[in-house]
């Protein structure tokens, strides 16, 4: 199962660090990373929700 740290790294890698990222943009990046990782391996819905809410 993918770790929260690895998910964080993948999200950070996709962010444009030359400008401030808006909340909506960040949420979309997180959803995209979750979707991509879900295609590679099963991620339980409860874990996806925790990752999206930032409670992991």
Report pLDDT for 50.
85
Comparing C-alpha atoms, which of 18, 20, 56, 19 is closest to residue 33?
56
Question: pLDDT, tens digit, for every residue of 4-31?
Answer: 788 889 999 999 889 998 999 999 999 9
* Domain ranges (residues) in the chain: 4-53
- Alpha-carbon dihedral angle through residues 15, 35, 10, 54, given to the nearest 10 degrees: 80
Q: State pTM to two decimals.
A: 0.77
At 56, is the pLDDT very low, low, confident or very high (cuts 50, 70, 90)? low
Question: pLDDT, tens digit, for every residue of 31-45?
Answer: 999 999 989 999 888
- Alpha-carbon dihedral angle through residues 26, 21, 13, 47, given to the nearest 10 degrees: -20
């Amino acid at each position: 199962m993918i770790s929260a740290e690895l998910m964080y790294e993948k999200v950070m890698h996709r962010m444009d660090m030359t400008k401030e990222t808006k909340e909506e943009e960040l949420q979309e990046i997180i959803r995209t990373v979750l979707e991509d990782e879900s295609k590679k391996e099963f991620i339980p819905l409860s874990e996806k929700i925790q990752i999206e809410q930032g409670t992991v």
